[in-house]
Structure 1
Amino acid sequence: MTVSNRQPDTPPAKRQEEGMATRRSVLGDDHVDRAEQSRTGFDAPFQDMIVDSAWSRVWSSDAITKRERSMLTLALLAAGGHWDEFEMHLKATANTGAQPEDVREVLLHVAIYAGVPAANHGFKLAKAHYRSIGVDLGEWETV
């Protein structure tokens, strides 16, 4: 198994480039373009930190797949009650390969380890999202 493709001596400009490419591949151009258009001098250091840390150093690693990383992210966001970010990453599953079945399993896991209220709200948001994109949620095998 590959431990990681991270290179600690990668120049900052290269990390920004790599991070932005990964961010776009996960969240989509529209989201990233909106974020970049709202960028100011005030939050520029924060935006740079996100691209460098989250998108270059973490999401660009090949130690686990984007699908696995997406599922971990959804679990952590649901557990922490970070619902705006949860919805953003739920939409991003269209780009990461995580399927509705994966999200269901993530939320069942959240219910056990982070509490039923967190999982319940996650299910509410996931159902609304999947209905909005035409996924039939009526016929599912039970767990």
Structure 2
Amino acid sequence: MADTSLFDRGMATRRSVLGDSHVDGATRRTTDFDADFQSFITEGAWGSVWSRPGLTRRERSMITLALLAGLGHEEEFAMHVRATVNTGATEADIKELLLHVAVYAGVPAANSAFRIAKHELAKRQEAAQ
């Protein structure tokens, strides 16, 4: 059974970081097959971890980006690059964290992540014009 308060806190944080449009789309695409998984990530990742007071959203965003890049999770990395508009992590932050990824997780992982980040940041700039 879901913890309603944890789910609600998680959903508020998830919306704040990823944006209503992304979360609404994920919610619309939820089926019986993945409903438990969606509750799990909303409560666990967003309600328990992202909602904790120990780090800022910017710091959590940077940690998440570095981990996703290092692990080669390209789709999730792109999503979290887009989310930096809401977390306060800057283009300079992304560049610096990807240099760390190159040293600690490998140049190929950082190379892929730089490509994705450049693409996502360029789309953001185009949309702003």
Provide the TM-score with structure 2 as the length reference: 0.94
Cα deviation 1:11-67 (Å, max 9, x = unaligned) = 810000000000000000000000000111111111110011000000000100000
Cα deviation 1:63-109 (Å, max 9, x = unaligned) = 00000000000000000000000000000000000000000001000
Runs of 4+ in 1 over 3 A off after TM superposition: none
Query: Which of 39, 54, 60 is matched with 2:51 structurally?
Result: 60
* Contact 2:82–2:121 under 8 Å retained in 1: no
The answer for unaligned runs of 5 or more in structure 2 is none
The corresponding residue for 1:73 is: 64
Q: CA RMSD in A?
A: 1.2
More helix by share: 2
Cα deviation 1:117-142 (Å, max 9, x = unaligned) = 0001111111111122228xxxxxxx
Provide the TM-score with structure 1 as the length reference: 0.85
| Larger-Rg structure | 1
The answer for unaligned runs of 5 or more in structure 1 is 1-10, 136-143
The corresponding residue for 1:86 is: 77
Correspondence 1:40 to 2:40: no
